[in-house]
Amino acid sequence: MKVLLVDDHPLILSALQAMIQELDPDVKVTAVGSAGAARSALAADADFDLVLLDLQLGDASGFDVLVEMRKAHPALPVVVISASDRASDVIQAIDLGAMGFVPKRATNDTLVDALRLVMAGGIYVPAMHLGASQGPASRSASPAPAIPAAEMATYQVTPSFEELGLTPRQADVLTQLLQGKPNKEIARRLGLSVETVKDHVQAVLRALGVSSRTQAVLAVSQMTQQRLERRAVPR
C-alpha cells in the first residue's frame, strides 16, 4: 500500500509518517510539505492508494487541492487530516469529494479505523452537530468511536431502512448515495429514469431529516456510530 501524506508542519508530518509505518511496515509513505510537492509526487507516480491531506497548507488552500486531486485522480481516495473539527469544514470536505475527515486531535486508533474504513470503500466522519433541524443525526461533539474491524464492511450501510420508513427501492438509492454516486449513475445501475431517482433521493432526504446529499452521508454515518456505541456498552 502506498500513501501520500501532505502536511506543511514538519513535526506533524514526521509523526504521522512514523505512526503509519509503525502500524504497518509494509505501507510505503511519501511525505511532502506543500501542494506543489504533492502535485509533483502524483505526476511522478500516480499509483498511490490513499492521500492524507491537511487543509492548512502554506502554498494553497487544502480545499482547492482536494478539488484538484478529485478531478485529476477520481479513483484515488483522499482523507482530510485537519486541526479543525468544525461541522462546516467536515461538510465542505465531504461535499468536495473527500472520503474521510479525521481531526488531528483524534486518537491513533481512530485514525487507523478511519483509514481501514476508507480503504474498504466507506466514508469516515467525526461525530458532530448538524443543526437542530437535521433529524436523526447525532448531537454529540465528541470524537467518533473506534470501529471494530468486523464492522468495517457494513459501516456505511444505514442502521435500519425499516426505521427510516424507506421502501426497498429508496433503500437501494440511499446505498448508492453513500457511495457518492451521482443521479445519472444511480439511474443506470438501478435501471431507473433520472427523474425517478430524483424523486427517491428527495424521499430519502426527508426520511433522514436533511436537505442535501452530503448531509445524508453524514447523518447515516453518525447514526451508525451511535449504533456501534450502543453495541459496545456492556449489558
Instruction: List the chain domain ranges.
Output: 2-145, 152-232
Q: What average pLDDT score do residues 177-194 get?
A: 87
**Any residues with CB less than 8 A from the CB of 159 and at least 6 apart, and which?**
220, 223, 224, 227
Residue 223 confidence (pLDDT): 72
Question: How many angstroms from the chain centroid is the CA of residue 207?
Answer: 21
Residue 231 in grid coordinates: 453495541
Q: Of 75, 12, 33, 146, which Cα lies nearest the Cα of 4?
A: 33
Q: Of 110, 138, 105, which Cα lies nearest the Cα of 124?
A: 110
Q: Which homologous superfamily does the CATH classification assign to the domain defined by 2-145?
A: Response regulator (3.40.50.2300)
Q: What average pLDDT score do residues 83-110 get?
A: 86
pTM: 0.65
pLDDT in tens, 200-225: 999 999 988 888 887 787 777 767 65
Residue 50 has φ and ψ, to the nearest 5°, of -160, 145
Residue 107 in this model has a pLDDT that exceeds 90:
no
pLDDT in tens, 114-146: 888 787 777 788 765 444 333 333 333 333 333
- Which helix or strand (DSSP H or E) is residue 8 part of? none
Q: Rounded to whole angstroms, what are the CA distances from 223 to 158, 162, 188?
A: 8, 14, 28
What CATH number matches the domain at 152-232, 3.40.50.2300, 2.50.20.10, 2.80.10.50, 1.10.10.10? 1.10.10.10
Contact 111, 231 (CB under 8 A): no
Q: Count the neighbouring beta carbons within 10 Å of the beta carbon of residue 81.
A: 23
Per mean pLDDT, which range of 85-94, 212-221, 222-231 is the poorest?
A: 222-231
Per mean pLDDT, which range of 22-26, 95-99, 222-226 is the poorest?
A: 222-226
Residue 153 in this model has a pLDDT that exceeds 50:
no
Mean residue pLDDT across the chain: 78
Report d(CA 64, CA 109) in Å as an integer: 29
